[in-house]
Amino acid sequence: GAGVSQTPSNKVTEKGKYVELRCDPISGHTALYWYRQSLGQGPEFLIYFQGTGAADDSGLPNDRFFAVRPEGSVSTLKIQRTERGDSAVYLCASSPFRGGQDTQYFGPGTRLTVL
Amino acid sequence: ILNVEQSPQSLHVQEGDSTNFTCSFPSSNFYALHWYRWETAKSPEALFVMTLNGDEKKKGRISATLNTKEGYSYLYIKGSQPEDSATYLCAFAYQAGTALIFGKGTTLSVSS
């Protein structure tokens, strides 16, 4: 079946602009995660949804970052007033239930470059 | 702060060599340990989820072991092939319903 998809695959923007990154999880998966991988680092947790609600948003670095999942499926990560330090690969993952022991299935990521 | 360490950071082997990597994680509050393989321009691919001390898992030429008491896991690749070239990530979960805490990965390069 279809895996996790993310769009766009690449996004180049200018400092100060607003961007939206989209994630389409595997159909039926209730848990959805956003991670960010900066150069030389492992993926770092941003936010976790269980259904429509954000169960844990403790990884969001500041209030410029926001994510929604209004119908419990597609999720959008929104970044306001982008900064050069936001440049990274943004990964989305979904899992059938609550994560932890469940495999998280990852999308290919969106590479964000802020000039 | 929960930290996951992987070593080595990178290595280069010849086709046919066997190799192994280490993942160290907090031994307290253990829930699960995940291994992923991430090839350039592709999605990270799940290899194993390990939950019990002493677990050993195998998938083709790749296997992994888990020691939760001392907080480490080994990933072994037998007879490396060029297609094994990738970054291998381990990730730790300390309870149900939480996100994974990743190490920085080990980047493997296999020459033919």
For B19-44, b/e burial (b = at least 16 CB within 10 A) is bebebbbeeeebbbbbbbbbeeeebb
Instruction: List, for residues A3-62, the tens digit of each pLDDT value.
Output: 999 999 999 999 999 999 999 999 999 999 999 999 999 999 999 999 999 989 999 999
Instruction: List, for residues A67-86, the tens digit of each pLDDT value.
Output: 999 999 999 999 999 999 99
pLDDT of residue B98: 78
> pLDDT above 70 covers what percent of chain A?
97
> Do A35 and B102 make contact, defined as CB atoms within 8 angstroms?
yes
Tokens of B69: 């008491």
CB A4 within 8 A of CB A93: yes
Q: Give contacts of B45 with chain A, Cβ < 8 Å.
A: 106
Tokens of A48: 């976790």
Q: Compute CA distances B88 → A68, B39, B62, whole Å.
A: 30, 9, 11
> Do B51 and A101 make contact, defined as CB atoms within 8 angstroms?
yes
Mean pLDDT of chain A: 94
pLDDT of residue B47: 97
> Could you tell me which residue, A102 or B93, shows the higher pLDDT?
B93
Tokens of A68: 């929604």
One-letter amino acid of B27: S
The yes-or-no verdict on residue B97 having pLDDT over 80 is: no
Chain A residues at the B interface, defined by Cβ less than 8 Å, are: 3-4, 31, 33, 35, 40-45, 48, 50, 55-56, 59, 91, 98-109
pLDDT of residue A48: 93
pLDDT of residue A100: 65
pLDDT of residue A98: 66
Nearest 10 degrees: CA dihedral of B3, A46, A3, B82?
A: -40
- For A103, the closest of B43, B46, B101 (CB atoms) is B46
Using DSSP, state whether A37 is helix, strand or coil.
strand
CB B20 within 8 A of CB B69: no
Cα B7 off chain centre by: 10
CA distance A80 to chain B (A): 24
Residue A51's CB: how many other CB atoms inside 10 A? 13
Instruction: List, for residues B28-58, the tens digit of each pLDDT value.
Output: 889 999 999 999 889 999 999 999 999 999 9
Taking CA A67 as the corner, what is the angle to CA A63 and CA A70, rounded to the nearest 5 degrees? Answer: 140
